[in-house]
């Protein structure tokens, strides 16, 4: 099976809360069978700091494009950047 890029925003009081919500929503929408190519395949995330002055989503998508080892393992953690207070962007490669 291959790997597919994904990116999704979620709201929560913390990154963990937002992650749990995003995973739950993806499993509801894409099923529980595995290989969905979504955040539903992830069990953890890695919080990544965004350099000052950069757009968080563009920065995150650039990490995927560059095959950054923090987010390029389809079996590894999702990447996570803070978009604004209470909103997070999760991204990476997932099994599909």
* H-type alpha helices, the chain: 15-30, 56-65
Q: Is the dihedral of CA 42, 47, 49, 53 positive or negative?
A: positive
Would you kindly state where each structural domain of the chain is located, as residue ranges? 3-95
pLDDT at 34: 82
* pTM of the full structure: 0.95
pLDDT tens-place string over residues 29-44: 988 778 899 999 999 9
C-beta separation of 38 from 19 below 8 A: no
User: What is the average pLDDT score of the chain?
Assistant: 95
- Tell me how crowded residue 52 is: count the other CB atoms within 10 A of its CB: 5
Confidence grade of residue 1 (pLDDT, cut at 50, 70, 90): low
Tell me what the mean pLDDT of segment 67-75 comes to.
Answer: 96
pLDDT at 31: 81
């Amino acid at each position: 099976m291959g790997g597919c890029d994904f990116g999704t925003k979620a709201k929560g009081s913390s990154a963990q809360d937002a992650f749990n919500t995003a995973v739950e929503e993806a499993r509801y929408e894409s099923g529980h069978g595995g290989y969905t190519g979504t955040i539903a395949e992830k069990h953890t995330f890695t919080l990544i700091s965004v350099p000052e002055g950069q757009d968080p989503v563009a920065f995150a998508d650039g990490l995927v494009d560059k095959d950054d080892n923090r987010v390029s393992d389809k079996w590894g953690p999702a990447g996570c950047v803070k978009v604004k207070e209470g909103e997070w962007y999760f991204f990476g490669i997932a099994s599909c």
